[in-house]
Amino acid sequence: MTEYKLPDNVTSQTGLFMQAVLKKLTDSGAIEDCDSGSLFMLAVSYDMYVRASETLLSDGPFQEDAKGRKSPHPAVKLHSMYYAQVLAWMRENGMTVRSRERIKALTPPVDADNELANFLMQ
């Protein structure tokens, strides 16, 4: 497995997630030493997503001002932003169910018996 050091102070959940990501990428041969910056960004984004999720689960999605008016909790915006970043990274690296299926669909062994794929490749 590629040597990778997690950023300091990430949650244990982030550590477990990153171990799974590294294993998947290493097993598929899709990781190189130059990917450490990308992995760092994923770890930070995922950790911020986890922390925003924990805040929303404990505080709820709304907050009240001094007059009792409700507004979205500030963590809602962070949660959405970091979720989008993590999902984009995972899609780009074939780590979502849909992107894995798309990648499998484009490989010749899978397409050998697929009449539509063979027609489109001609």
Q: Is residue 4 part of a domain?
A: no
Gap between the terminal Cα atoms of the chain: 38
- CA atoms of 50 and 48, how far apart (whole Å): 5
Q: Is residue 2 part of a domain?
A: no
Q: Is residue 54 part of a domain?
A: yes
Q: Is residue 95 part of a domain?
A: yes
Number of domains within the chain: 1
Q: Is residue 3 part of a domain?
A: no
Alpha helices in 2-73 (DSSP H): 12-27, 36-59
Domain that holds residue 53: 12-121
Q: Is residue 105 part of a domain?
A: yes
Query: How is residue 7 annotated by DSSP?
Result: P
pTM of the model: 0.76
- CA atoms of 14 and 104, how far apart (whole Å): 27
Q: Is residue 5 part of a domain?
A: no
pLDDT tens over the chain, length 122 residues: 457 788 889 999 999 999 999 998 888 888 887 888 899 999 999 999 999 999 999 999 999 999 999 999 999 999 999 999 999 999 888 888 777 666 555 555 555 566 665 665 55
